């Protein structure tokens, strides 16, 4: 049995629920003989991947769903062996080059050239080109991106690239100018509620409107999260009551508690305890930047208006350092310590007045 997220993922362009205008445009693109390189961007859970798969299906028919996974090996000039997983069908292939870290340039150069230089063999194929889907394109190194530049132009005859990323800030300008930018915005609360209702109907569940709205709010525009929460709620309690609270993921609860924990006491002793909690989160593979961001927003909700600006400033600063540094715990702890100091000072000043 698969998760609802996968079960109810729209399969074709006509099944997509929201962004109707975008869907029409994508259909026009796919139905004409000419198809540009695409750069699909938007926040996570907005439906970028779903749209890419739907476009591929529109291009090639159901054949694209017959997937196989290959493990490919590449050798760097310094004789290091790299391995990367590639998901492919007869018509397209999909890779996440950031898996190989700084050697992504080699993968891009070798693999894409190899694909680009082979013609589509299947005579019954609808298109004369293959599609390469590159996930997490924003974490491609600059070298890898510049390696793509000319390749994209030169092999336009038998290959198209679809780049999928969260933000275009880290995509170099020459690549951006070669692609058609497709922005997939996060769905708004009503759109999420509609989808939730649809899922509930297919599962023959009674979904109270208020509860659906609560989930939609809680998901913050992330469709995947909304559907997952609905399924979790179904497991927890059914029939749903209108006053039921959606269950947040346990790490979010943990961070929320952590925020309260920090706010109740600001001492070096407490800081040491906070550290163990942070380690707990890190060992459960919650990415440090997510921890910092979630913690910041939890703290912001609970503190006085005057402090908010300063806290955001420090959060931005420590998050930036976190990206550049190599040991996450230092920066997380530094942020917590800094916050404690600001907050304590604020409380003391308040008491002195």
Partner 1 sequence: MMATTFFSRPTGPTGAQKPAQPAPWVEKYRPKKMDDISSQEEAVAVLKRTMESANLPHLLFYGPPGSGKTSTILALARELYGPELIKTRVLELNASDERGIDIIRMKVKDFARVTVSQSVSGYPCPPYKIIILDEADSMTTDAQSALRRTMETYSKITRFCLVCNYVSRIIEPLASRCAKFRFKPLDDVSVRSRLQLICETEGVNCPAETIETLARLSEGDMRRSIMLLQSAHRLYRTDVITSDAICEIAGVVPTQMIETLMAAWQSKDFHRIEAAVGEAVRDGYSGAQLLSQLHDRFISDPHLTSAQKAKIAQSLGHADKCLTDGADEHLQLLNLMVAAF
User: Which residues contribute to the site for partner 1 (CB under 8 A)?
Assistant: 25, 28-29, 32-34, 36, 41-43, 46, 77, 109, 113, 117, 128, 143, 146-151, 153-154, 156-157, 167-170, 173-174, 176-178, 180-181, 183-186, 220-221, 289, 293, 296, 300, 305, 308-309, 312-313, 315-317, 319-320, 323-324
Q: Pick the closest to residue 291 from 260, 336, 325 (CA basis).
A: 336
Minimal distance, residue 77 CB to partner 1, in Å: 7
Residue 269 vs 309, nearer CB to partner 1 = 309
Q: Classify strands 68-75 and 180-183 as parallel, antiparallel or unpaired.
A: unpaired
Residue recorded with tokens 């230092």: 330
Minimal distance, residue 237 CB to partner 1, in Å: 29
Beta bridge partners of 92: 131
Residue 83 vs 153, nearer CB to partner 1 = 153
Residue 77 vs 269, nearer CB to partner 1 = 77
Residue 15 vs 150, nearer CB to partner 1 = 150
Minimal distance, residue 273 CB to partner 1, in Å: 25
Minimal distance, residue 187 CB to partner 1, in Å: 9
Taking phi over 0 as left and psi of -120 to 50 as alpha, with beta for the rest, 327 belongs to beta
Minimal distance, residue 200 CB to partner 1, in Å: 24
Minimal distance, residue 21 CB to partner 1, in Å: 9
Asked if residues 41 and 29 have their Cβ atoms less than 8 Å apart, the reply is no
Residue 25 vs 206, nearer CB to partner 1 = 25
Q: Pick the closest to residue 234 from 264, 254, 255, 204 (CA basis).
A: 204
């Amino acid at each position: 049995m698969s998760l609802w997220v996968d079960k109810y993922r729209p399969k074709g362009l006509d099944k997509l629920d929201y962004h109707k205008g975008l869907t029409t445009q994508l259909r026009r693109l796919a139905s004409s003989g000419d198809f540009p390189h695409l750069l699909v961007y938007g926040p996570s859970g907005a439906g970028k991947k779903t749209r890419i798969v739907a476009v591929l299906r529109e291009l090639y028919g159901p054949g694209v769903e017959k997937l196989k996974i290959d493990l490919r090996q590449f050798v760097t000039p310094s004789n290091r062996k790299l391995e990367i997983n590639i998901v492919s069908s007869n018509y397209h292939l999909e890779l996440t080059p950031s898996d190989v870290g700084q050697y992504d340039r080699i993968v891009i150069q070798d693999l894409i050239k190899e694909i680009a230089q082979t013609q589509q063999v299947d005579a019954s194929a609808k298109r004369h080109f293959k599609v390469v889907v590159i996930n997490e394109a924003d974490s491609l190194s600059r070298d890898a991106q510049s390696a793509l530049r000319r390749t994209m132009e030169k092999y336009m005859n038998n290959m198209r690239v679809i780049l999928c990323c969260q933000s275009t800030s880290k995509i170099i300008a020459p690549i951006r100018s070669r692609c058609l930018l497709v922005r997939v915005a996060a769905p708004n609360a009503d759109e999420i509620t509609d989808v939730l209702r649809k899922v509930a109907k297919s599962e023959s569940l009674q979904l109270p409107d208020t509860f659906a709205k609560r989930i939609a709010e809680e998901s913050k525009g992330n469709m995947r999260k909304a559907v997952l929460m609905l399924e979790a709620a179904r497991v927890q309690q059914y029939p749903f009551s209108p006053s039921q609270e959606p269950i947040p993921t346990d790490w979010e609860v943990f961070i929320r508690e952590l925020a309260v924990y920090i706010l109740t006491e600001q001492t070096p002793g407490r800081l040491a305890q906070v550290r163990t909690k942070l380690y707990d989160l890190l060992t459960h593979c919650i990415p440090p930047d997510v921890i910092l961001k979630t913690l910041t927003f939890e703290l912001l909700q609970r503190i006085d208006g005057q402090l908010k600006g300063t806290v955001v400033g420090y959060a931005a600063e420590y998050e930036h350092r976190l990206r550049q540094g190599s040991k996450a715990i230092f920066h997380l702890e530094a942020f917590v310590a800094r916050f404690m100091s600001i907050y304590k000072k604020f409380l003391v000043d308040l008491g002195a007045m």
